[in-house]
Amino acid sequence: MCMVIKMKKEKNIINSFKYAFEGIFTALKAEKNMKIHFIIMILVIILGIILKISRIEWIICIILFGFVISLELVNTAIENTVDLITQEKHPKAKIAKDVAAGAVLIAAITAVVVGLIIFLNKI
């Protein structure tokens, strides 16, 4: 009995990862901004390799990649949930979507500023 419960928990964990990766790939396929963030991330990685940024600078870049991409995923979830609930123009629906988009914008601006601080003195 205990082995069955353990196998079921392991399957649930595997499914959780599977669904999470499906969400990432769905957003990457469907969302233009997600594609832009991924392209910029790849370009920053290439530039980081070429310019031989330090370990600390890599850590900062990786944290910022996760920060921006995660917020873009949350923004996509909020937008889709609002669209599922109502197709009407509603002031609260607009606020939810605009605030979520604003969060991504703040994260992206932060990433650009930090990126400039890291990369400008190396060019």
Q: How far apart are CA 79 and CA 101, in angstroms?
A: 9
DSSP 59-119: HHHHHHHHHHHHHHHHHHHHHHHHHHH--S--HHHHHHHHHHHHHHHHHHHHHHHHHHHHH
Q: How far apart are CA 116 and CA 63, in angstroms?
A: 15
- The SS3 assignment for 52 reads coil
Looking at the annotation, which residues are catalytic? 72
